[in-house]
Structure 1
Amino acid sequence: MLLISLLFLSLFYAGAESSAVNSTTAGQCSTDGALECSLADGHLHHRIGQQLDPQRLFNESTHDENQNGFAFKHDAASYLLTRGKHGSFVVFPLDFFVSASLIVHGVWEETLLMSVEKLLQPGCWVADVGANIGSLTVPMARRVAPHGRVVAFEPFRRIFQVLAANVVLNGLGSVVRTVNAAVGNAKELMTIPTYDYDHIGNFGASTVDTDRPSDWIGTAGKATEAVWRVRLDDMEWPRLDVIKIDVERMGMQVLQGAMQTTARHLPVLMVEADLSSPQTVPAFLDSAAGKGTYSCFFGCTRPQVGVLRNEDFTFIPPDCSILTCVPPHVKVTG
């Protein structure tokens, strides 16, 4: 897996370097100590920081034929600003799943998003549990705006910082509430692993389980950090239409902490499944909302659907691990 990752990254950066130009459309930086940049389409115009040295913040400014933005580096953390199908995103260059898909394809889990968008309309409320960098948060927020809400939970500090940046970058601060917390079946201060996001890995595989940390990403030695764990039942939900759960083996704990909310609002649930989910999730929903209230089925994500570019280069295989559970008032077609 490491060899494949290195091969992909070398191919990507070779392409980026060969297509880099000194075009003013790639971003213009002022020299007055503050940094001001814009992308070619004129829709993105933001000011980063005050009294910063542009040479310190940026290690390189590039622009390819896909209008893919620019790379920037601050201290030890490197990021890339890329424009995808659903908005502009700050991504991790060394994350070979979520970020890499946004860079290469312009989307992440597009088929899942297409399914979710069929369930949403302006005014809906969504709980995005395990929001990562916001690749689904942003398009869902666009769908429910201006009066709907997306509450996006992400426990890992570095990933949460990028999530919050992407919400602001896409002008969705009034629609999305970002919460730097884990979600589970208790309200408590917990200890989670500190992962190393400055080396190649699958950053989306970060898990709060200190006993079984992810094998897909390195940890910073035995370092840990504290973060709050909350229950969905402890929050006020005027309505809740969809709960999306992607929390690496901890999905049942999220559901256990959402029993009252599920019974009250009967939201659609989209849960990243593990081997036990086909039995445990429907059984839980029977106890929470009444036997037979929910119907559950598996849906697949296909990264080649809806991509913007490089359609012949799909390095992420189809994934059929999304368990979707719908209440009787929701009609699912297609």
Structure 2
Amino acid sequence: MFKLIQYGDTCIDIGANVGLYTIRMAQLVGPSGKVYSFEPVSINYRVLLRGLPRDLTRMITAERLVLSDSIGEKEILVHDEDGLFLQGLCCVNSNDRGVKSVTERVPATTLDQYFKDDHHKISFIKCDVEDHEFYVLSGGQNVLERDQPIVLCELWDNDKLYRTFSFLEALNYQGFYLEEEKLSSVDKTTAGWRKKLDYFFVPKNHAVLRT
């Protein structure tokens, strides 16, 4: 994945958790690049801020926001078991896993709204938001059409997987998954294509597909 990020790029980390991807992105883009990091869960966000290396902070803008398809406020369900915080199980307006949770209300915006006056060309988006990816990308259609960034997102095997593929394919994207450190095209005629979980979406005219 990180081979797709270049020095000087502008990247977005959506669902940054405690910032591991954010930090690695900042190291790759260097001082002439930029990383926008979005993490709505309060405890994750605090850990993220505390963990940012001092020499990288000038390249990173971290926001405690939900990115979605509408502007306003969203409920985040932070799952816990007997007081043990489950860091990877946080979702927007859904608790269909049947685990105990506490609720946080967090400001919400869209990619298009957040970046409407930003003149950085977005090169790479990583999106891992516990089955809310379709709504995040839907709220960023203008950014996707304008900048044609590579998109990495986690997609569960449900109807939103199909909706996400259809949405991005209509914007001239092609779906891939990572196999032996190389991008392999998603073939929907093969069994198991929906089980890959992590999918890369690359504009069909992107230089990475010509190398």
Q: Which range, TM-score by smaller chain?
A: 0.7 to 0.9
Of 155, 161, 165, the residue aligned with 2:50 is 165
- 8 Å contact from structure 2 (residues 110, 136) kept in 1: yes
Q: How many angstroms does 1:333 deviate by?
A: 8.6
Aligned match for 1:193, one of 77, 80, 84: 77
Superposition map of 1:1-334 within 5 A: 115=1, 117-167=2-52, 169=53, 171-196=55-80, 199-200=83-84, 202-209=86-93, 211-212=94-95, 215=98, 218-220=100-102, 224-234=103-113, 235=115, 236-275=118-157, 276=159, 278-287=161-170, 289=171, 293-299=172-178, 320-327=196-203, 328-332=205-209
Uncovered stretches (5+) of structure 1, i.e. residues with no partner: 1-114, 303-318
* Alpha-carbon separation, structure 2, partners of 1:274 and 1:131: 18
Matched AA of 1:238: H
SS at match of 1:147: coil
Amino acid at match of 1:323: Y
Question: Hey, what's the Cα distance between the residues in 2 that align with 1:245 and 1:331?
Answer: 20
TM-superposed CA distance for 1:195, in Å, is 4.2
Q: Please report the TM-score for the alignment, with normalisation by the length of structure 2.
A: 0.81
Higher relative contact order, chain-length normalized (CA < 8 Å, sep 6+): 2
Deviation at 1:274, TM superposition (A): 1.2
1:194 Cα deviation from its structure 2 partner: 4.5
> Separation in 2 of the partners of 1:277 and 1:296?
15
Q: How many residues align?
A: 193
301 and 213 in structure 1: CA distance in 2 versus 1, 3 angstrom threshold: farther
Deviation of the 1:231 alpha carbon: 0.5
Shift in Å, 1:263? 0.2
Structure 2: 5+ residue stretches without partners: 182-194
Q: 1:200 to 1:330 in 2, by over 3 A?
A: farther
Q: d(CA) in 2 for partners of 1:174 and 1:260?
A: 27
Contact 1:133 1:160 in 2 (8 A): yes
Deviation per CA, 1:55-79: give whole Å up to 9, x if none: xxxxxxxxxxxxxxxxxxxxxxxxx
Identity %: 26
The structure-2 alpha-carbon separation of the partners of 1:130 and 1:119, relative to structure 1 and needing over 3 Å to count, comes to same
Instruction: Quote the residue 1:83 is aligned against.
Output: none
Q: CA deviation at 1:198?
A: 8.2
> What amino acid is the match of 1:159?
N
Q: TM-score, normalised by structure 1?
A: 0.53
Letter in 1 for 2:61: R
8 Å Cα contact 1:301/1:320 also seen in 2: no
Conserved? CA contact 1:300–1:321, under 8 Å: no
Deviation at 1:283, TM superposition (A): 1.1
CA RMSD in angstroms, aligned pairs only: 2.6
